[in-house]
Amino acid sequence: MGTPTLGNPQNTIAVLQKYNFSFQKKFGQNFLIDTHVLDKIIRAAGITKDDMVLEIGPGIGTMTQYLAEAAGKVTAVEIDKNLIPILEDTLSEYDNVTIINEDVLKLDIRRLADDENQGRPIKVVANLPYYITTPIIMGLFENHVPMESITVMVQKEVADRMQTGPGSKDYGALSLAVQYYAEPYIVANVPPNCFMPRPRVGSAVIRLTCHKQPPVEVKDEKLMFDIIRASFNQRRKTLANGLKNSDKLKYSREEIEEAIQSLGKGASVRGEALTLEEFAALSNRLCGLS
């Protein structure tokens, strides 16, 4: 095994120059160049030699080197084919790393975990491209990939949305979805100067520790999320109007209003006032009618 050589600006620049690499805006590439932050991520993820880690978007392999030192096995999924020769070079000393040149949204990660880790829970660690953070995280949860935790660098505003509760302006469908599947904890805030090129916004490392069992009992998971999405699609509308206007839900106004009343809520309540437990109760009530 080697010692991580990347993670500081000089070495990152040297690698980029050696390969004449130019950043692709369409892939949202911002490479981490701060060894303190890298150490924090590895610690927060609690990686041991028993773990298989899935890294999404390894870039030039900066964090991959740290992961390879700590984990038993690392599978790194990189969409940009121009980075593959760089990764083969920067990771050449590590025999426990597999690089896959693929779009993570099109990859069957559940099967990958089954094949590579005998179906045991994996740990996901990534510095995620900001423009597809939500689809990646929701894809992992909704496909029921066996996971212990997801430790990721995301836009600060998105990290705030994941861990906030009812009544906040950041509270929405993402908050509820993340909290249904996991317990979110913001590990560190990370300023733009820790990246190359510098993003325009602040970032945060958030750890999502996956629930063994969801915190609420739901008869129909898909229905609950359709209700949640409909209630936040038009935030200014009352919950009843949001649900009535949804193409996905086929309930009468009376059925919707009765279900909301059964929660002990008035007709003018908005979706952002409801807790995860209340959305589950509402969905279970409506589930009996369909």
**Per-domain boundaries in the chain:** 9-210, 221-287
Fold of 9-210: Rossmann fold (3.40.50)
Contact 185, 206 (CB under 8 A): yes
Q: What region does 144 belong to: left with phi over 0, alpha with psi -120 to 50, or beta?
A: left
Nearest-CA neighbor of 235 among 158, 177, 170, 180?
Answer: 170
Average pLDDT, the chain: 92
CB proximity list for 278: less than 8 A, separation 6 or greater: 263, 265
Other CB atoms within 10 Å distance of the CB of residue 63:
28
**Distance (Å, rounded) from C-alpha 60 to C-alpha 62?**
6
State residue 36 phi and psi, 5-degree precision. -65, -40
Backbone angles phi, psi at 277, to 5 degrees: -60, -40
Q: Is the peptide bond before 197 cis (omega within 30 degrees of 0)?
A: yes
Return the closest-CA partner of residue 41 out of 16, 58, 26.
58
**Percent of the chain scoring above 70 in pLDDT:** 98
**Confidence band, pLDDT 50/70/90 cuts, at residue 38:** very high
17 pLDDT more than 90: no
Superfamily of domain 221-287: rRNA adenine dimethylase, C-terminal domain (1.10.8.100)
What is the per-residue pLDDT across 87-102, written as a single tens digit (0 to 9) for each? 999 999 999 999 999 9
> pLDDT at position 31, please?
87
Q: At residue 126, what are phi and psi to the nearest 5 degrees? A: -160, 150
Please tell me what DSSP assigns to residue 26: G
Residue whose entry in the numeric block shows the structure tokens 């969801």: 214
Amino acid at site 266 = G
6 vs 120, residue with greater confidence = 120
Higher pLDDT, 23 or 89: 89
**What is the residue whose two structure tokens read 């070495």?**
11
> What pLDDT, on a 0 to 100 scale, did the predictor assign at position 290?
63
